[in-house]
Every structure is written in C-alpha cells, then in structure tokens.
Structure 1
Amino acid sequence: MNLAPTPQTVVLATDMSGRCDRALARAVQLSGTWRARLLVVHALEDDEAGQAAEAARRPPSWRQPESHEAAVAQRLRDDLAGEGITADVQTARGAPAAVVLEAARREQAQLVITGLAQDQPGVRRRVGTMADTLLRDPLDVPLLVVRARSSGPYRHVLVATDFSPASRAALATAAHWFKSAGLTLFHAFEVSASDPTGLGFGDESRAQTASRACEQMLAEMALGPEVTDRLHPVFEGGEAAALLPDHLRNSDVDLVVLGSNDRTSFMKKLLGSTTETLLHAIDCDVLVVRGGK
C-alpha cells in the first residue's frame, strides 16, 4: 500500500474564541513540521452578520464603512501576526461546517482541523455538531479533532483497526504523517457470554485469529521495518466502545486514528450512534481518515 502523502494545505476551522487556541497551536505545529500552507477559516453565522449589519446602518461619525467579512478577516490576520503565525485567512457567511467544507474543496486541502471544548457542555454540543457534520460529509479529507494542549509533535499514536480497507488507510496515514511517534494497533474482538475470555473451543482462539489477521494485513501493506519496528499490536476481547477509552486512560497515547468510509460499520460500532460518543469519552486528539473503499 502506498503511504499517504503529507498534507500540503491544512485548513483550520476557528470561531475566534479562546477555546480554539489548542486547535490553532496543533495546526501551526503540524503545518510547520510538514512545511504545509495553513489556511484559517472563519464562518460568519446569521446572528453575527445581523448584528454587524445593524451596526453598519448607524455607524459613529469616525467609522468608515467596510464589510464585516473584511473586518473579521483583518482581525484574524492581526491576531495571527501578533503570535508570529504565518497563515492565510478566509471568512464567509454561512453555517460553519458548510463554510469549512467549501474552503477545503476549493483549496484542495489534505487535512481539516477543528477544536472541541472540554469543559463547556453547551459549547460542546455546538462544536460537536459541526464535527458530526464534517465527518458525515463525503469530502475525502481527513479530519483532526483537537482536544489536548499541544506540547510538540505527537509521541504515541493509536490506530483502531478491524483489518478493513478503511482501517488500513488509517494505519498508512498514521505511519507516514507521524514518523517519530510510537504506534499502537488496537483491535477489540467479539466475545460471547459463554466464552468471555475469547479463548474459544476450536482450533484457535479469537485472539489468535486477530493476530493472524494482523500479520496478514501488515504483510499485504508492506509498510517496512521503519514502521513495523515501532508498531505494538494490542488485542482485547470485548466491546471496542468501552475498551478503547479505558485503554487510553491507562496509556500515554496522545492521538487516536480511525478509518472510516460508507461501506464499513466499524465506526458505528466503535462510536455508537454519534461521533460525540467517543469524542467526549477521551481526552486526546482524534484523527478520522476517509478512504480504503
């Protein structure tokens, strides 16, 4: 399998609030590492645009008329320049997810980044809804949801797998994008009430079956020793949606990578009815990779 090329254009979705600072820091770190162009996108929603239009109708004597989009874009540029950040800026009116997706398509971005608040339930729902929309869209671009504060490059990346083409694409992306990180390949296999250990009663256990599937996948992907030497497989029996958060709480993983496409139910099994199930259950960042059809 060909490894995914590193992004040349990265899109960051921001609402210009402090809760997006972590996503901005991660976007700056990644775009700098990859020498990629960083594009910061902000959507002007109806309430914000309406307030600006009302103010423009009755401006004070010293204010020169200007478009609200231009004013917001200039504020973003000034804020970024003040932090020593080099980035392009785009603003547009509309629903945040739609604005971000349109920018990603137009600029042919290879990665979209957004943030997710950790301590404000109301904000969580709104930002989480945008993440849901971005994940459901057929745009074939990975989505990185940032939860944690950036302290340098990712050091330990976990790839959740069911050995499907989608999870193979996730592993290939993680291996190439994060060359210095340790890799954990996590697989949860189903167990029955009569066989809670997964040891089985046939010629081989479910754990052995998972190990064989993993070996076959790695052989077919031909990732090379530079990847396999830093890859640690973990196989556990039980529900992935419960096992994965528990594993993360007891490890130093700082990024989870998931594969997704319309032809697999793995994501649905893993995440539950909505993506917020996992996004709010763990404290580390999540990268969702589309592809592997």
Structure 2
Amino acid sequence: MTTTICVATDFSARADRAIDRALLIGEQTGAKVRVVHALDYIEADNADWAKLDRKMRECIGDATCETEFAYPEGALAHAISKDCKDQCADMLLVGPARYNSIGDYFLGTAVDYVLRKIESPVIVVKQRARSPYRHLIAGTDFSANSRYAILEAAKRFPNAQLHVAHGWRVPFQGFQRDTYVREEIEEDARSAMEAFMADLAKANPALANATSNVAKGNAYEVMAREFDAYCDIGGEGLVVVGSHGESGFRQAALGSQTSDMLRYLQNDVMVVNTKAAES
C-alpha cells in the first residue's frame, strides 16, 4: 500500500516551500503526495475547478512522484485535518504562519485542534527544500511522550542522523546559588539521558549511533544551538518535538515549549502527536 503525504496550500509563496519539501520526500520514499486546498462552503459553491486544478499543477511543477489534488470543504483547520485523517496520511506539511492566512490555523490556537484531531505528525516548513533532511534535532524531557516522538520521526526519516538534546535549568536560580546544586541537577540530567538513549537504541537498533547532549538553558535555546552545531544549511535539518511532555500542557493546549519552537525557530519543525504514547 502506497504511503500518502498530505501538504496544505493556500497558493502563497510560503506554502510553496511546504509543497517542495513534500515532493522531495515523495521522490525519496515513493510516497504519494496529496496537495490539499481547503475551501469554505461559499467558495466551493462558486469554484472554478479547472482553474483550481491549473493552479495546483503550477504548484507541483514537474514532480516525479505520484500526486493528487484535494479540495475539502468547511472551516480550514477542520477540513484539512479531516482529509488527512480520512486518507490515513503518514504526515501533513504546512507552511509558516502569516496573519489571517491558513498558517494561523497551524501556529495559532487552532494548531491544538489539528494535532488533537489527526494522529499524523505535522511538519511546519520554513526553509527551502534544497536538501533532504540529513539531521534530526530532537528535544527530550525524558518522558514517554518525547520517546514516542523521536521514534516516530526516526521511522519516517531513517537515513537522517539523530541528535537528542536536553536543556536543564536550576529552579529558583536566584535563590539556588550553591555550585553543588547546579552540579547535581546536571549530573541527574546526564544520567537520565544515558538511560534514555539506551532505551531508544533498544526500541530501534539503528539509533545506536545517535548523538546526545545535555546543556544548560531552556528547550528553545538548547535546540537552536544544537541545530547550528550540526546543520550547515537550514534545509538539511528537522527539529522534532512532541505535542505534549512532562513540562508541557497535557490538556487541550499545545505545550508551551513546543509553541515557542514553532514561533521562534527559523527551521523546519516536526510536531508529533504523542497521545498514542499515553494510551
């Protein structure tokens, strides 16, 4: 059975980057790329289908992988997430946010809705697809959720080198001035990382060559430094985060650290719905 990758477009230049990345993944993996343009009900009633198909063909250019077009109807976030779910899509790619554009549905409050409604990972594409993903830069808080997110990303990009990072901070740092407190926190984090990496390798032996780093700083700062350390160009790296975690919100909202990475990192970010890890 052919794997399906969905990519959302509003025909903007930013969405074109997501399409280019989806096509590159399709060419590498043999997956079918389903280009999705959602229409509200009024637009659908008055749609010029031939014109829409022509615009879609312009978006994909001379694609060498299998492609198809879809025009789900309804509220954008709901229509796109439902289409992905109905197609059992392996992943969904979207462009970065722009005020009042389709991107806001994925980087604003409705991103929570999308990630709750579809189990597929979502890649927010910010960089041009000039290279396959050669590096996966994954953050971890040592939870089952982050473990699940990393394994799902590695399964989809088995040829990419995995790098796992954890940022540690001293709680109430203004009051915890003793050196031994910082040293104990760092040592605990390093021990936890060692056990975490061993567990990853046990679950997927191909990850035995993965690298890891424990560094002082918040998750966003550490991930940004790790990316710069391993990736010469932005398009060759993919940041991997889970939609929930021990330090994130575990109810309806997207975790705050994940939201920060989506908002501030200039690199492509894969957000993995980790609800399955909790069942």
- Of the structure 1 ranges 124-133 and 10-19, higher mean CA displacement relative to structure 2 is found in 124-133
The residue number in structure 2 matching 1:266 is 247
Whether contact under 8 Å (1:80, 1:87) holds in the other structure is: no
Which among 246, 266, 274 is matched to residue 283 of structure 1?
Answer: 266
Which among 204, 212, 234 is matched to residue 233 of structure 1?
Answer: 212
Whether contact under 8 Å (1:132, 1:276) holds in the other structure is: no
1: CA distance between counterparts of 2:273 and 2:168?
23
Whether contact under 8 Å (1:109, 1:141) holds in the other structure is: yes
Question: Following TM superposition, by how much is the alpha carbon of 1:94 offset from its aligned partner in structure 2, in angstroms?
Answer: 1.7
Unaligned runs of 5+ in 2: none
Query: Would the alpha carbon gap of residues 106 and 251 (structure 1) be closer, same or farther in structure 2, given more than 3 Å must change?
Result: same
Determine whether 1:109 maps to 2:104: no
Which among 178, 181, 184 is matched to residue 205 of structure 1?
Answer: 184
2: CA distance between counterparts of 1:185 and 1:274?
16
Amino acid at match of 2:78: A
The residue number in structure 2 matching 1:89 is 69
Query: Would the alpha carbon gap of residues 108 and 125 (structure 1) be closer, same or farther in structure 2, given more than 3 Å must change?
Result: closer
2: CA distance between counterparts of 1:46 and 1:239?
43
The residue number in structure 2 matching 1:13 is 8
The residue number in structure 2 matching 1:63 is none
The residue number in structure 2 matching 1:167 is 146
- Of the structure 1 ranges 181-190 and 252-261, higher mean CA displacement relative to structure 2 is found in 252-261
- Of the structure 1 ranges 72-81 and 231-240, higher mean CA displacement relative to structure 2 is found in 72-81
Amino acid at match of 1:71: A
Determine whether 1:156 maps to 2:138: no
Whether contact under 8 Å (1:92, 1:99) holds in the other structure is: yes
Question: Following TM superposition, by how much is the alpha carbon of 1:39 offset from its aligned partner in structure 2, in angstroms?
Answer: 0.9
Determine whether 1:45 maps to 2:24: no
Cα deviation code 1:202-224 (max 9, x no counterpart): xx722221222222223334045
Query: Would the alpha carbon gap of residues 92 and 11 (structure 1) be closer, same or farther in structure 2, given more than 3 Å must change?
Result: same
Query: Would the alpha carbon gap of residues 143 and 81 (structure 1) be closer, same or farther in structure 2, given more than 3 Å must change?
Result: closer
Amino acid at match of 1:213: A
Query: Would the alpha carbon gap of residues 287 and 109 (structure 1) be closer, same or farther in structure 2, given more than 3 Å must change?
Result: same
1: CA distance between counterparts of 2:138 and 2:78?
28
Question: Following TM superposition, by how much is the alpha carbon of 1:177 offset from its aligned partner in structure 2, in angstroms?
Answer: 2.2
Determine whether 1:99 maps to 2:94: no
Q: Normalising to structure 1: TM-score of the pair?
A: 0.76
Amino acid at match of 2:269: V
Amino acid at match of 2:181: G
Question: Following TM superposition, by how much is the alpha carbon of 1:121 offset from its aligned partner in structure 2, in angstroms?
Answer: 5.4
2: CA distance between counterparts of 1:130 and 1:88?
29
Aligned residue pairs, count: 264
Cα deviation code 1:122-154 (max 9, x no counterpart): 656466338624554242211111010111211
Which among 9, 21, 24 is matched to residue 26 of structure 1?
Answer: 21
> 1:45-194, aligned counterparts within 5 Å?
45=40, 48-49=43-44, 53=46, 68=47, 70-79=49-58, 82-85=61-64, 86-117=66-97, 123=101, 125=104, 128-129=107-108, 132-192=111-171, 193=173, 194=175
Question: Following TM superposition, by how much is the alpha carbon of 1:242 offset from its aligned partner in structure 2, in angstroms?
Answer: 3.9
Whether contact under 8 Å (2:136, 2:238) holds in the other structure is: yes
Q: Secondary structure at the match of 1:280?
A: helix
Tell me the percent identity: 28
Unaligned runs of 5+ in 1: 1-6, 54-67
